[in-house]
Amino acid sequence: RKLFICYPPSDTDNLDPFAGDEGLMNGTWLDPLDEQVDTEWPMHKKATPYIGVVQEGETVLMPKGWWHYAASLEPSLTVMRNFYTERTKQEYIRRKDDGLENAVAQHVLKANARLKNQPDEVLKEIAHKTVLKMREGFKNRSGPHRWSPEPGGKPPAKSAASHSQ
């Protein structure tokens, strides 16, 4: 069993948020179970918590933007997975591109002898343009044939009916 305390996106300002994962305002130190929560975080008094207990075998689907606090009420195992849909696809791609741009700037461009002394803003701009060119390249290529591995990880045998995508 697991206790969930959830808050709608409209309560974000009441939860004392800070920039967490990927620079998004999705972190907070607020502990809704702390007896002093309303003293330490006065805006929390304006928040509307939705509270529930998830029983064994049940699943929780958390909509995008909802805040959640979870506490195990007994020993348990949690499996968590983020999903994206056509509606959230562009944000997902933007977040991944931002991470890729940072990695290119910090680990590839800074390692280049000609660029290592450039300001971070310059490296980020070069990395941004690089990722945009990569995206264009992905859009314009036909790509390799896609296949699903069979048990044992071996590709399926080619047949006359197969085709490239």
Instruction: Render 51-78 in DSSP notation, one character per residue.
Output: EEEEPTT----PPTT-EEEEEESSS---
Q: Report residue 22's pLDDT band, with 50, 70 and 90 as the boundaries.
A: low
Q: Which helix (H) or strand (E) holds 50?
A: strand 50-54
User: What angle, 0 to 180 degrees and rounded to 10, lies between the N-to-C axes of helices 89-103 and 120-140?
Assistant: 130
Amino acid letter, residue 75: P
Could you tell me the pTM of the whole model?
Answer: 0.57
The order of strands in the sheet holding 50-54 is 50-54, 2-7, 67-72
Amino acid identity, position 29: W
pLDDT digits (tens, 9 = 90+) for 23-75: 778 889 999 999 999 999 999 999 999 999 999 889 898 888 899 999 999 99
Q: Residue 69 carries which side chain, given as an amino acid letter?
A: Y
Write out pLDDT tens, residues 124-165. 999 999 998 888 877 776 665 554 455 555 544 544 443 333
Quote the CA–CA distance of 10 and 146 in Å, as a whole number: 42
pLDDT band at 92 (very low <50, low <70, confident <90, very high): confident
